[in-house]
């Protein structure tokens, strides 16, 4: 997590040293916070911003965080410029370790830790900002080019990208021709003839 609570409008710090066991935390952004986050992320509005987060001690001095954020954001359709609402649901799983305990010190511990991993973030001053984490994952989940399902281009045609999967597949007029020829259809023979029989008859007649 590159951002810190000091430069984000949604701040929910937790003191890592006070987390002795796993616990659930629910975050709900206020109206002012949602307005500030929307401005920060370049959105028209945020109607809902919530997160359910489980935090627990990790590797003795760190913090493990798992959660899900839900949000309803307002954007403008990139095709019609009309306002639209987007529902977002995103899960996240992060681990944090204090900056003053480097990797070499942790690797030298004699106790084998099944949770050992190099995939972690660092924190300072005994604090991890859950609000900053939620805002960061929200920013990653937002579609930068939102389009309404029924978006119409200026010339009146449906957006090619949106309607591409709705186009019926064109069937070639020659589809199945090879199969029909393999059973003798089209060469004057009986349709019940076995494959290869007509070729044998023609060869015999040539003698």
pLDDT in tens, 98-151: 988 755 555 565 554 545 556 899 999 999 999 999 999 999 999 999 998 877
Structural domain count of the chain: 2
Tens digit of each residue's pLDDT (9 = 90 or more) over 75-113? 999 998 999 999 999 999 999 999 887 555 555 655 545
The verdict on residue 163 lying in a domain is no
Is 120 in the same domain as 145? yes
pLDDT value at residue 149:
83
Angle at 112 between CA 99 and CA 106, to 5 degrees: 20
Is 26 in the same domain as 107? yes
Query: pTM for the complete prediction?
Result: 0.66
Burial of 4 (0-12, 13-18, 19+ CB in 10 A): middle
Q: Which domain range does residue 206 map to?
A: 168-207
Measured N-to-C along each axis, helices 31-41 and 130-141 cross at an angle, to the nearest 10 degrees, of 50
């Amino acid at each position: 997590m590159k951002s810190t609570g000091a430069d984000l409008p949604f701040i929910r710090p937790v003191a890592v040293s006070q987390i002795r066991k796993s616990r659930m935390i629910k975050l709900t952004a206020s109206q002012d916070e949602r307005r500030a986050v929307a401005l920060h992320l370049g959105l028209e509005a945020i109607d809902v911003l919530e997160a359910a987060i489980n935090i627990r001690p990790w590797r003795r001095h760190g913090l493990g965080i798992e959660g899900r954020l839900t949000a309803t954001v307002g954007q403008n359709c990139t095709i019609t410029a009309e306002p639209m609402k987007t529902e977002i649901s995103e899960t996240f799983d992060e681990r944090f370790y204090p900056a003053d305990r480097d990797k070499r010190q942790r690797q030298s511990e004699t106790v084998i830790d099944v949770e050992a991993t190099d995939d972690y973030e660092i924190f300072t001053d005994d604090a991890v900002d859950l609000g900053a984490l939620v805002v960061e994952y929200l920013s990653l989940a937002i579609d930068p080019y939102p389009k309404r399902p029924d978006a119409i281009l200026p010339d009146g045609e449906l957006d090619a990208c949106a309607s591409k999967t709705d186009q019926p597949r064109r069937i070639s007029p020659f589809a199945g021709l090879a199969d029909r020829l393999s059973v003798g259809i089209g060469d004057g023979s009986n349709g019940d003839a076995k494959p290869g029989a007509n070729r044998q008859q023609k060869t015999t007649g040539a003698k």
